[in-house]
Amino acid sequence: MTTKVENAQVEKVIFDGLAEVGAEPAEISRDAEFEALDVDSLDLVELAQIVEDEFAVRLEGDDLKGITTVGQVIDLVVAKSG
């Protein structure tokens, strides 16, 4: 059973995770597109693992289809958490 998480918690973990996979921290924002951050599909898999470890929320490949911005992933994690 998952516990509802807050946007701010998820945002911090996602921002930190993106920096870990090589995105420039100064360029990370909710509106930032993964392509502009030079984040590829392998980086997204790593980010999904960070999310699962931190929030017990599993992001599948289909969940990430059509998602292009950091904010969309944050919203997805919050929605799936509760």
For residue 45, give Cα distances in angstroms to 60, 62, 78: 9, 12, 18
Which are the catalytic amino acids?
Answer: 40
Q: How far apart are CA 71 and CA 38, in angstroms?
A: 16
Point out which residues pair with 33 in neighbouring strands.
69
Phi, psi of 39 (to 5 degrees): -100, 120
